[in-house]
Chain A
Amino acid sequence: MNRTENNAAPVDKPEDIRPEPFQFTGTGREYFGIWIVNILLTIVTFGIYSAWAKVRRQRYFYGNTRLAGHAFDYHARPKQILIGRIIVLAGLFTYNIVVNLFPLASLALLLLLFLILPWLIMRGLRFNARVTSYRTVRLDFHGRYWGAAKAYIAGPLLAAVTLGILAPLATRWAWRYSLGNLRYGGRPVACDPNLKSLYGQWWLSALIVLIGFVLLGGFSMSIYGFLGWEDSLMTKNEIRIAILSTTYLFMLSIILIYAFAGLFYRAGTRNIALNAAILDERHHFSSALSRRRYAWIAISNLLATLFTLGLARPWAAVRMARYVAAATTIRIDGSLDDYLNQVTETGPAISAEYLDMEGFDFGF
């Protein structure tokens, strides 16, 4: 304890600024064992082990993410996760029973879900922050209900009704909320990505969507045109089935076009958001993902996982984590020594598990 005094004084010399890259030190070979044992035990225990599996997976990924010689850690306890999952499953079960038994009530229920969704998101983000530590100091999250409603309900809605034209606005709100409300040792993270820079990353994706739609439009027009021929040899039935399957393919193509363009957009806007993020008014984040490389890794990962019946997943997950970590840097100004943990309670895991099980993806 005799050394506390020496290091307590903040070091503010500008020459102390040094860029520290994030680093991911896990390997596909090592993670494969953890992953396959997780799945095996989850199946054998009828899902109960999935809570322990999640903690081991998260601890592996957090513990291998290193910054300036120290690793992150994940602190959720398996029993906490298990209870959260059981409550979420019971809730989903009840919801489905009510929807099926009282179809008229389902609209009201859906509305109710929309009303509590921001709260769930807020609590989920808080839980995830509070179970994350770096150098034994926990992160914390101070976002509120209305911020979540704006960032995750109003934003996506606005982006959807404008066919993506206002997507950068939604992205700005989402980053401002999820990253800008984080705290480390009681010190805030500021994040206010510039709207103009976000649009700078938007036009390429918009162009991809536009080109995709033009191609798709031409293609489907010719198919529907063919089906509409009066002297077609097909029966009314066959035409109907052909139209149905073409429509299905059409919808699928739209989803694929948006997903493809979304990869570029996500990588580009992450760069903008992190470049605009500052911890404790002095440590600047930066991100230098290459959009093309990011999209390539995501797509080839997906294909490799598909064609190996999932067995390539550990390799794929590690590959992505490695790339994203290596592209992320903090310019440390002074020292990271004088942060004090402020978090003592994590709260229940229910909201975080709900978001997790519904497939919401919040990666910091």
Chain B
Amino acid sequence: MDSDGCAPVAAGFWHPRRSSRAVPAHMRMTVKTVIVTADEDAAELAAGSPENVTVSDRIGAIPRHILFEDGSVFETDDNDAVDDWLASRFCSRTGILHRLERFHPRLALFALLVVVLFAGLYRYALPAAVELAVAATPPDATRLLGQSVLSSLDHSSVLTPSTLPQERQDAIAGQFRDLTRKTPQGEDAFTLLFRGGEHIGPNAFALPDGSIVLTDALVGLAPDDDAVLGVLAHEMGHVAGNHSLRSLYRAAGATTLILFISGDVGSGIHDILVQGTGLAALSYSREQESEADRYSVTLMTKAGRDPAGLARMLESLDRHPHAEDGTDFFSSHPATPARIEAIRRHAAQPPEG
């Protein structure tokens, strides 16, 4: 005892192996040994060498646990004494994390860094990852994706066989083919499919593999052929921009980002973030719509057709009585006056613009 007079001593409790019993005790730590002695009768309760005891990490001011080889545990609030001992024994091994976490002006810098990094992650890293994932997706996967969606729609009678006269179908298909030849992707990138479909009304949509589904009702409603082709060119814009794949990956990325942060923000903020990404996806899809609109105008101009065809189609749709459950072309393509105006303005510009 005398020789260890200057060794750090920590007061606390000693628990026998597996037991909840707590014996008031203190622990004396020297370079070679650690000894726990009972406060009451100075009996030695546990002893070990620094190599065969396990010391728990320091986190804030929570109690430290020193586990001995015999399974007994010494518990102490005296973190500093334990740290002093660890420092003398293992040089600079004491928790670097704890030193980073201590209250210090440096933390303000960390906070700033977190805000900047998080914004950068969302603004740049996420879109970059989406691009990477789109580029890495094999064409086979996109084909499978498109075909399985189509077959499930066909099987669940959302789509029915087209009742459009064959000559009308051929005429539209011919014009569609002329249009595809003017795209950088070429004729083979797109397939036009005619379908009936009471539930979805006048409608057209693109699948990731380049299939474009056109419903009879939309053809029936169109004031002229250029209106139909304008819509088809819009859908080709979605295919050319890989829009469905992009939204898919973007949603997955945002969800993953939230997963990693959710434990640190609490469940209320977690729910708000989930709702927020839903809204962000909505605005993202609106961006995709205007991108496809511009694609339609440019392509129609290039093909020598009326670039305002899409705008005319949207106006006819607006006058048409809508499906009550909101599943027609309109619900995914709200024809706001601003949007029709934008298409017309873009159509009036010289082709380079």
In whole angstroms, how far apart are the Cα atoms of A47 and B100 in the complex?
19
Centre residue among A31, A42, A54, A135 by max chain B CB count within 10 A: A135
* Contact pick for B264, options A39, A59, A134, A309, CB 8 Å: A39
The A interface is mostly helix, strand or loop, or mixed, namely: helix
Assuming the contacts A7-B21, A135-B20, A338-B20, asked whether A313 and B101 have C-beta atoms less than 8 A apart, the reply is: no
* Contact pick for B103, options A7, A32, A42, CB 8 Å: A32
Centre residue among B22, B152, B252 by max chain A CB count within 10 A: B22
Q: Within the complex, what minimum Cβ distance (angstroms) separates B272 from chain A?
A: 7
A310 touches B269 (CB 8 A): yes
Q: List 17 A-B contacts (CB under 8 A).
A: A2-B43, A33-B107, A34-B60, A40-B110, A40-B117, A47-B256, A57-B263, A69-B22, A71-B75, A89-B259, A136-B65, A236-B319, A237-B337, A240-B322, A240-B330, A240-B334, A313-B269
A145 adjacent to chain B (CB < 8 Å): no
Per CB-CB distance, the 5 closest pairs between chain A and chain B, nearest first, are A63-B62, A33-B101, A339-B20, A135-B20, A341-B18
Q: How many residues of A contact B (CB 8 A)?
A: 78
B residues 92-115 near A (Cβ < 8 Å) are: 97, 100-104, 107, 110-111, 113-115
Cβ proximity bits A303-337 to B, threshold 8 Å, 1 near / 0 not: 00110011101001100000000000000000011
A235 touches B337 (CB 8 A): yes
The B interface is mostly helix, strand or loop, or mixed, namely: helix
A56 adjacent to chain B (CB < 8 Å): yes
Q: Within the complex, what minimum Cβ distance (angstroms) separates A187 from chain B?
A: 10
Segment of B142-150, B217-225, B228-236, B342-350 in the binding face = B142-150
Q: Within the complex, what minimum Cβ distance (angstroms) separates A3 from chain B?
A: 6
Nearest B residue to A309 via CB reads B115
A9 adjacent to chain B (CB < 8 Å): no
B107 touches A32 (CB 8 A): yes
* Residues on B with beta carbons closer than 8 Å to the beta carbon of A30: 60-61, 103
Q: Within the complex, what minimum Cβ distance (angstroms) separates B75 from chain A?
A: 7
B353 adjacent to chain A (CB < 8 Å): no
Nearest B residue to A138 via CB reads B18
B268 adjacent to chain A (CB < 8 Å): yes
For chain B, the bracket of interface size reads 35 or more
In whole angstroms, how far apart are the Cα atoms of A171 and B20 in the complex?
32
B171 adjacent to chain A (CB < 8 Å): no
In whole angstroms, how far apart are the Cα atoms of A30 and B59 in the complex?
9
Segment of A11-19, A120-128, A201-209, A353-361 in the binding face = A353-361
* Residues on B with beta carbons closer than 8 Å to the beta carbon of A47: 256, 260
B residues 164-199 near A (Cβ < 8 Å) are: none
B118 adjacent to chain A (CB < 8 Å): yes
* Contact pick for B110, options A7, A36, A134, A339, CB 8 Å: A36
B20 touches A185 (CB 8 A): yes
* Residues on B with beta carbons closer than 8 Å to the beta carbon of A70: 13, 22, 75
Assuming the contacts A1-B16, A42-B260, A339-B20, asked whether A63 and B59 have C-beta atoms less than 8 A apart, the reply is: yes
A310 touches B265 (CB 8 A): yes
Cβ proximity bits B42-61 to A, threshold 8 Å, 1 near / 0 not: 01010000000000110111
